Amino acid sequence: MKKIPLAILSFLFATFSLVAQDQEALNLEKAIQLGLENNFEVKIAVENISLTDYDLKIGVGDLFMPSLDATYSRSFGTEDVEQTFINDPEPRVIDGAKSRTENFTMAAIYGFRPESFVVMKRLGQLNEISELDAKVIIENTVANISSAYYRLVLELQRYQVLERTLELSQSRLDIAQAQYELGGAGRRDFLTAEVDYYSDLTLLTAQEQVINNARVNLNQLMALGPENDFAVKDTILIGEPLNLMELQENAFVENKQLLIIQRQENVAYLQEKELRTSRLPVLNLNGSYVNNTFNSDAGFLIQNQRQGFNFGGNVTVNLFSGLTLNRRIQSAKVQQKITQYALDQYEVQLSSDIQRSFNTYETNKALLEIEKKNYEVAKENTELALERFRLGISSYLEFRDAQVNLLSAENRLITSIFNIKEQEIELMRLSGKIFFANSFEPLDGVLAN
């Protein structure tokens, strides 16, 4: 009966080791780089920046550049003409009189509106908002990849914990079988040890599925196929202690979502200013070049050709528009108040989010110190319980209890480390320092592409 568990364990370890050897190494920096290069949400955000760039350039052309149109036309006619002149009572009849007209015109129109400069500022703000939107998506992608990467590391560490637990169960099973075969223990103790072994083996096997799903989640964020396999570092390093005051100060300067709302407030202000400025006179200038030739077989005028320039201008002032402009101005004022309230609300939310995350961060740091001590105690207790069980001076229940306590202590220890790292990532994201947290600065490069 002993050979079956050993065979399963050997096969499981051999398979996992073989897979690990074939895996390509992947660190966090490389994962982030792949994500920023491949993630489709990031690509869409970058393309949206291009759209707003084109909108800005279109606005410049519409507002400050004249329109120039060139028209060329030719027409032909054949008519039967009957003409009567004052000095000649006899009518003149011309059958099939031909006429030809050739016309070439170039016309330029330029209209200057006083609100044009305000419109350009507003379009510039919208362009900045588009860039900040892209940066928000990029920062969220970096944060999500970081969390998914460390989640995979956590699950791999849990796998190692379950491996060590299974090794202890194997040792207990070996001792129980030896005692049973020598008559020092009953068959019930041996069977209980074997049941516990298979229970731990089930947990280890189930953990493989958790690891595979965590790997798929990371692949998805990097826009890779779920079949891609790689090896990651099996440690999670906690960064330098964070300072709440510095995080809050930096957030109100660097948080991209806050900057977006600030730009939206500026846009609302410029929209109102644009409407007010539209009450000023509009200057329109026009000029044209004309080359026109007319030929006819009938009439006094056989050929008429005109060539030359025309130019002029006008000033337009709107005197009344059914109070529509006033209503639009009032609507813009309301929109400006809404954006101000939204800004105030987000500032409160941002401070609260940072405070909550920092509280969780501090609590997990305190828990980490407790879990370290608890793990050392549980480890020593398990070693003593195993030795006592080997000597036959303690029951299998005592050993199993110590073993379960060690498993729980190890899980809580590595989970507390992961929780600290996750809060570090969130605090860095909220404060706009996510790239510094990863010692990686790809943002400008991504946007430049």
9-39 pLDDT, tens digit per residue, is 444 444 444 444 456 788 888 989 898 888 8
| Percentage of the chain lying above the pLDDT 90 cut | 35
To 10 degrees, the CA torsion angle through 38, 43, 46, 52?
A: 170
Q: Is 168 exposed, middle or buried (0-12, 13-18, 19+ CB in 10 A)?
A: buried
Give mean pLDDT, residues 344-351.
Answer: 96
Of 411, 412, 361, 435, nearest to 28 by C-alpha is 435
DSSP 241: P
- Assign 296 to helix, strand or coil: strand
Burial class (CB in 10 A: 0-12, 13-18, 19+), 3: exposed
CATH number at residue 345: 1.20.1600.10
Look over the chain and give the mean of its residue pLDDT values, rounded to a whole number.
Answer: 83
Q: For residue 205, give its domain range.
A: 3-66+114-280+324-448
**Residue from 448, 449, 433 nearest 139 by CA:** 433
Q: Is residue 155 helix, strand or coil?
A: helix
Task: State mean pLDDT over 338-367.
Answer: 95
Q: State the average pLDDT over residues 406-432.
A: 93
Closest CA to 120 of 77, 58, 177: 58
d(CA 65, CA 110) in angstroms, rounded, equals 7
390 pLDDT more than 80 = no
Return the pLDDT at 261. Answer: 95
pLDDT band at 1 (very low <50, low <70, confident <90, very high): very low
Predicted TM-score (pTM) of this structure: 0.79
Residue-level pLDDT at 372:
93
pLDDT at 7 over 80: no
Say which residue, 18 or 92, is predicted with more confidence: 92
> Strand 88-112 and strand 24-25: pairing?
unpaired
Residue 82 lies in a domain: no
Number of domains comprising the chain: 1
Residue 443: pLDDT above 50? no
* Dist CA 429 CA 419 (whole Å): 15
pLDDT score of 445:
46
Residue 92 lies in a domain: no
- Are 402 and 381 spatial neighbours (Cβ–Cβ below 8 Å)? yes
Question: Residue 348: CB partners within 8 Å, gap ≥ 6?
Answer: none
Residue 227 lies inside a defined structural domain of this protein: yes
In a domain, 119, yes or no: yes
Q: Give burial (CB, 10 Å; 0-12/13-18/19+) of 89.
A: exposed
Q: Encode pLDDT of 155-175 as tens digits.
A: 999 999 999 888 888 887 887
- Whether 358 is in a domain gets the answer yes
pLDDT in tens, 287-323: 888 888 877 766 666 777 788 888 888 888 888 777 8
Q: What is the pLDDT of residue 186?
A: 64
Q: Is 11 among the domain residues?
A: yes
Residue 286: strand, helix, or coil:
strand
